[in-house]
Amino acid sequence: MLKIKDNVDLKELEQFGFVCFNQEQQNYEKKLNKKYDNEEINIYGGEINISLDGWETMDLDILYDLIQADLVEKVEE
C-alpha cells in the first residue's frame, strides 16, 4: 500500500493540485478526469486511494510527482 509519509505536512499536497475537503480528518482529493466525477486520488489521513471508473487511460503523473517529491512511501498492509 502507498501512503503519504508521516512527517509530511498534508498542506503540501495543495501544491500538486489536491483540494482539502475535510481539514479535521485531513482528507484531500484530486480529480483525474474531468469527464468522470469518481475518477480521483483520495488521501484519507495519509492513506492513498485511487478510484477509477471504466477503462479510460488515466493520467497518473500526479502520483509519480508525489513519489519524486519524496512524499510517498510503501508500507505493508
Question: Model confidence over 21-75: pLDDT tens digits?
Answer: 887 888 888 887 666 666 788 888 888 888 876 555 556 788 888 999 999 998 8
CA–CA distance, 46 with 23 (Å, rounded to integer): 12
The residue whose grid cell reads 497518473 is: 60
pTM: 0.73
Query: Terminus-to-terminus CA distance in the chain, angstroms?
Result: 6
CA–CA distance, 36 with 5 (Å, rounded to integer): 29
* Distances from the Cα of 20 to the Cα of 25, 42, 46, 77, angstroms: 10, 10, 12, 25
CA–CA distance, 39 with 52 (Å, rounded to integer): 5
Structure-block grid coordinates of residue 14 = 495543495
